Amino acid sequence: WAVFTISMGAHLLKDIVNGIKLIVSSARERHNYHQGMRLFVGGVILTLTAAFTLLISGIYNAATAKSNSEIILNCVAIVFVTDIDEYVYGVLCTVNMSWVKMWSVQGEEECVGESGFDKDEEEDNVDLNSEIQKLIAHVESLQLNVEGHNEKLKMVLQHLSSDG
């Protein structure tokens, strides 16, 4: 039971805390009514779902599990089922970022971490690569200029040494 309590508590505590944060965030004045209600309802649903999952999984395990391995197996199954939404969100971020940005309060910030892909980052990389190419060309022209000056200096030194 200790493993069940620790693993379920650690896993679901994140959702409970995030739900409470959403509820608190919904009361801030910077959100309009529609956004505030979305945050409030989302926070209540997230908090209640996590708390309900914790309660029901405890009752279910107490009623059906006959050994510690069954408790752990049930715990792993519940953790997997509660993570499905995050897996689907990661897939949506990967497949269609604009749709997620349109419907999500957080938008792109979370998707970047979920999918590891960011179109703006790719555009920034292209811009940086073009800047690097420009700098390389400039350095090469400076190098040619310096080499030209070196040749002139060698000629002046040869001229001075032959005069001296």
Residue range 46-71, pLDDT digits in tens? 899 888 888 888 888 888 878 888 88
| DSSP label at residue 116 | S
Using a 10 angstrom Cβ sphere, with 0-12 exposed, 13-18 middle and 19 or more buried, the burial of residue 44 is: middle
Per-residue confidence band for 107, with pLDDT thresholds at 50, 70 and 90: very low
Nearest to 44 by CA among 28, 26, 20, 25: 20
What's the angle, vertex CA 122, arms to CA 118 and CA 126, rounded to 5?
170
CA–CA separation, 133 and 120 (whole Å): 20
What is the greatest pairwise CA distance in the chain?
A: 108
CA–CA separation, 19 and 40 (whole Å): 9
What's the angle, vertex CA 118, arms to CA 112 and CA 120, rounded to 5?
130
Cβ distance 100 to 83 under 8 Å? no
Is 0.75 topped by the overall pTM? no
Per-residue confidence band for 119, with pLDDT thresholds at 50, 70 and 90: low
Tell me: pLDDT of 120 over 60: no
Q: What is the mean pLDDT of the chain?
A: 77
